[in-house]
Amino acid sequence: MMNHIPVITIDGPSASGKGTVAQRVANTLGFHYLDSGALYRLVALAGLQHDIDWQDGSALGDLVPHLNVHFDGEQIFLNNHEVSAQVRSEQMSQGASQVAVHPQVRKALVSWQHRLRQLPGLVADGRDMGTVIFPDAQCKVFLTASAEVRADRRFKQLSQCKVAADYQAILQDLQARDQRDRERSSSPLVQAADAHLLDTDTLNIEQAVAQVLDWYQKSI
């Protein structure tokens, strides 16, 4: 019944810049924006708050329906508490990668993501938006970059924020996340057969956004 609402999916590995690109595309088109990664970060945070081990997929999956999540612009609320800074921390980034491997968690979050498909349209970024959550999306993009380029971008980002960072540690963490994402049994990270490949090794944000918008316009 929601198939008439246009969806643009942008999937890709961690730190590829897909979130920034997706948000700018959504703003340009006046579409809603789904940051699916934030949902997994919220599950990781809630698990920590309820003393649930991130390896306990069953308990985490059971917890999801009881979470009260609200997005207000860039602010994120969990059970009526503003948790934006916590959700965006490196700890929750690592936690999201760990809880996302559990089929129980991914299944529990499907309905949440489907509910965000609203007029005039939706731009969704994640790992399985085009392959599992919105397989009928009008325009699909697989946005990627080499692990080395992604690590360098993350290192510079943290340095600009005056956060102590080690390039080699960041690179190793990204490579470990990539492996977990690609090898998990439930909704592994893979390019959809009908998705456009967007390698951003030599592109800036503006160029990447322009390319996605061009592909979308041609899909209409």
* 137 in any annotated domain: yes
| Sign of the C-alpha dihedral computed for residues 99, 101, 102 and 108 taken in this order | positive
Mean pLDDT of the chain: 93
pLDDT at 43: 97
Q: Return the exposure string of 25-63: e unless at least 16 CB atoms fall within 10 Å of the residue's CB, then b.
A: bbeebebbbbbbbbbbbbbbbbbeeeebebeebebbbeb
214: in domain = no
Band (pLDDT 50/70/90 cuts) for residue 171 is very high
Residue at 73 is within a domain: yes
Residue 67, judged by CB atoms within 10 A of its CB (0-12, 13-18, 19+), counts as middle
Q: What is the pLDDT of residues 24-40, one digit of tens each?
A: 999 999 999 999 989 99
Please count the structural domains in the chain.
1
Residue 88 domain-assigned (yes or no): yes
Is residue 2 in some structural domain? Answer: no
The confidence score (pLDDT) of residue 90 equals: 80
Could you list the residue range(s) of the whole structural domain that residue 178 is in? 7-204
Is residue 134 assigned to a domain? yes
Instruction: Report whether pLDDT(184) > 90.
Output: no
CATH of the domain at 184: 3.40.50.300
| pLDDT band of 1, cuts 50, 70, 90 | low
User: Does residue 210 lie within any of the structural domains?
Assistant: no
24, part of any domain: yes
